[in-house]
Homo-oligomer: A and B are copies of this chain.
Amino acid sequence: MSDHVYKKIELVGSSKESIEAAAQNAVSKASETVRNMRWMEVGEIRGHIVDGSIDHWQVGVKIGFTLEAEESPETLEEKKN
């Protein structure tokens, strides 16, 4: 564990349901091509308003994932495509 290097990427997820769902949507999208995601941090929380109600939530997240020893940072992402 002590020699891991992590990369963090920043996404914004959306959801009509909840703040949690908006964050999960960002994580789900990232999971299509990024392996070894470990944690996420919630940043800015915004809501888009339509007709006087919050129509959907927009949640900024930073996602951290492990770069394995045998992989280079960019190779990791390459493999997923």
Chain B residues, Cβ within 8 Å of A27: 47, 49, 52-54
User: Given A4-B14, A40-B49, A49-B40, does the pair A24, B72 have CB atoms closer than 8 Å?
Assistant: no
Residue from B2, B30, B39 in contact with A46 in the complex, judged by beta carbons closer than 8 Å:
B39
Chain B residues, Cβ within 8 Å of A11: 5-8, 67, 73
Q: Which residues of A contact B (CB under 8 A)?
A: 1-16, 18-20, 23-34, 37-42, 44-49, 52-57, 60, 62-64, 67, 72-75, 77-78, 80-81
Known pairs A5-B14, A30-B73, A74-B77. 10 more at Cβ < 8 A?
Answer: A1-B14, A1-B48, A2-B14, A2-B16, A2-B55, A3-B14, A8-B10, A19-B19, A28-B53, A39-B47
